[in-house]
Structure 1
Amino acid sequence: MIEPAHSTRGFQLDVLERKVPTPCDIVGSGPAALLLPALSSISARAEMRPLAKILGHDYRCLIPDWPGFGNHPRSRIAMEPETFHAFMDSLLAALPGPYAIGIAAGHAGPYLVAAARRHPGVFDRLVLIAPTWRGPLPTALGDSRRGWLSSIRKAIELPLLGEALYRINISPPIIGRMMRAHVYADPDHVTPGIIADKHAVTLQPGGRFGTAAFVTGGLDPFKVRKDFLALIEADELPPILVLRPERAPRRSGAEMDALIAAGHVAKASVPGALSPHEEYPGEVAAAILAGIR
């Protein structure tokens, strides 16, 4: 089968009075679909391309990078939830849709849902892939350590010490262990080539700021689960499909299960861990297409 056409456009988005360079891949043709990559040390729009190559036979998939993330030099901007909400507003002003589908992975999920609530009618349907709302360290350690997490973030943001700490924690062996532990479900899928690609993402100038914010909970759009569930319950939202990976880490999986149990979303199971759209794009695409038709 012939792959759908692929191009890249660059945008200068106005985000809180700052110009944010935003590359955006465009894959395929048909009704528009917005695909938002996850937020993590190794996330970039490239992670959505395998999924877009499949959906691109039916949809025109637009895949932007988030501010402070991606495989390109990153502008320095406040790494706070307000920034990411403002980014979504600016993105939808530049690429107004309407969208047949909005798809978001991981931590991008709450930001997509919040944007859909602020912009009713822009999205016909939403798909949340392994949605999360709390960063890795708060999830692992609990809320009682938030003061300590803030200190970690400040240390990583320091000019010299911070860069050294960051480099130590994003070496290829550590990236490989992290991916095998909770990003991919099958350790054999974590190849040297994939690790090299992920490591290249972390080497982009300014990469430590987004990482420091995300892992310590600085990009968490909510402090408690009930606030996330309250967002999902909003009447003005389009139908939401949650793709729950079968081998999601225990704590993250429990949050996905709580979201599903609240009764305001549809659910489909997919193989994988926290990045099923990369590891099993065919199965994820099939679940999306089956769930929205």
Structure 2
Amino acid sequence: MRPRVEATHGPLTTRTLDLTVAGHRVATPCAVIGEGADALLLPALSSISAREEMRPLARELSATYRCLVPDWPGFGAHPRARLPLNPANLHAFLDALLAAAPGPYALGVAAGHAAPYLVAAARRHPGAFARLVLVAPTWRGPLPTAMGPERAAWFGRIRRAVEMPLLGEALYRINISPPIIGRMMRAHVYAEPAHVTPAVIAAKHRITRQSRGRFGTAAFVTGGLDPATSREEFLASFGDGLPPVRVLRPEKAPRRSGAEMDALIGTGRVSALTVPGALSAHEEFSRDVAAAIRAP
């Protein structure tokens, strides 16, 4: 059984921000949940990324925070914007979002690959966030993590193949079928296989079927959205000039991703708490994650 979710305090509404990023119009739907001090919650970047994954955590926080939960450009359960997907444009997206909805935010939360983007935004916008919470922070995409930098030449070729009009769509469909999504979620997204129900898989599959969905997946999986090129560069983004940062380290994070989280915690530049779950702890164990966010 999934953990029980508390009732939402205040209405759940949808707001669309009409942003301009690198000369492109990016209509950005956002969930708005809760009452109280403003909080920005950023979903992870992945093949199944959508603002809906942050909804359980936003509900848990809704008695204290008014949570704004946007979709990233190129991701989400809606037709995707025609924006070139690269780290510079994702940084620019957060700049545009903070211009349109400046807060200030009592809390910024980011999961997975969104974490270093939130940290960089907090550094560029002093005073925008009172504190940051990073849930299972990552900086390196799946293929670079699994295959190592020595095979980097292949990553661009794979991305270009998936982005091709006919071959790319066929490759994408094969690799985001419901059985593969279920296998991926049981392997490293959720910690408890019993939580990967047919309904959960169907909901994630609907996200992948959106128009232009293959472009975000190709960019993320091949490392095209990696905001750093090395662990040293990733760690150097923390430290002076940031609000307090807390890392929530899931107990069952994959070995290689967990090692990067442990390296960050080991710098002493962040505080840290352990939470149950794997890479999507914020969705699977939202109550525990909310408690860790609220902990002194």
- TM bin (shorter chain): over 0.9
> Following the alignment from structure 1 to structure 2, what is the Cα–Cα distance between the partners of residues 244 and 104?
13
For 1:97-246, list aligned pairs within 5 A: 97-233=103-239, 235-246=240-251
Secondary structure of 2:78's partner?
coil
Determine the C-alpha separation between the residues in 2 that align with 1:224 and 1:181: 25
The one-letter code of the counterpart of 1:125 is: R
- What residue is the counterpart of 1:274 in the other structure? 279
Once residues 275 and 142 of structure 2 are traced to their aligned partners in structure 1, the CA distance between those partners, rounded to angstroms, is: 22
Q: Distance in 1 between matches of 2:64 and 2:18?
A: 28
Q: For the residues of structure 2 that align with 1:146 and 1:154, how far apart are their CA atoms?
A: 13
* Alpha-carbon offset, residue 3 of structure 1: 2.1
Q: 2:99 aligns with which of 47, 72, 93?
A: 93
How big is each residue's C-alpha offset from its partner over 1:76-103, in whole Å with a ceiling of 9 and x where there is no partner? Answer: 1111000100000000000000000000
Distance 1:236 1:92 in 2: 18
- Counterpart for residue 294 of structure 2: 289
Structure 1 runs of 4+ with >4 Å offset = none
How far 1:236 sits from its partner (Å)? Answer: 1.1
**Structure 1 residues 42-81: aligned runs within 5 Å:** 42-81=48-87
Q: What secondary structure does 2:247 align onto?
A: strand
Query: Which of 252, 262, 266 lines up with 1:261 in the alignment?
Result: 266
Distance 2:151 2:181 in 1: 24
Whichever residue aligns with residue 278 of structure 1, its letter is E
Q: Which residue of 2 aligns with 1:29?
A: 35
**Counterpart-to-counterpart distance in 1, 2:134 and 2:8:** 25
Quick one: which of 14, 21, 29 aligns to 1:15?
Answer: 21
Render the CA deviation track for 1:21-62: whole Å, top value 9, x for unaligned: 100000001000000000000010000000000101100000
Q: CA 1:2–1:247 in 2, change beyond 3 Å: closer, same or farther?
A: closer
The amino acid across from 2:265 in the alignment is I
Distance 2:235 2:51 in 1: 27
SS at match of 1:27: strand
Aligned mates of 2:71, 2:8 — CA distance in 1:
22
Q: Which residue of 1 aligns with 2:3?
A: none
Q: SS of 1:232's equivalent?
A: coil
Letter in 2 for 1:257: D
Displacement of 1:114 after TM fit? 0.1
Gaps of 5+ in 1: none
Post-superposition CA distance 1:167-186 (Å, at most 9, x none): 00000000000000000000
1:3 aligns with 2:5: no
CA RMSD, Structure 1 to Structure 2 (Å): 0.7
Letter in 2 for 1:288: I
Give unmatched runs, 5+ long, in structure 2: 1-5
- CA deviation after TM superposition for structure 1 residue 2, in Å: 4.3
Deviations 1:199-248 (A, max 9, x none): 00000000000000000000000110111111112x11000000000000
Partners of 1:110 and 1:98 lie apart in 2 by 19
Match of 2:47 among 24, 27, 41: 41
- Please tell me whether the aligned partners of residues 250 and 277 of structure 2 are also in contact (alpha carbons under 8 angstroms): yes
* Amino acid aligned to 1:243: L
- Does the residue aligned with 2:278 lie in a helix, a strand or coil? coil
Specify the code of the residue in structure 2 equivalent to 1:244.
R
C-alpha distance in 2, partners of 1:41/1:84? 16
Describe the SS at the equivalent of 1:63. strand
| Alpha-carbon distance, 1:12 to partner | 1.2
Report the alpha carbon displacement of residue 75 of structure 1 after superposing the two structures with TM.
Answer: 1.3
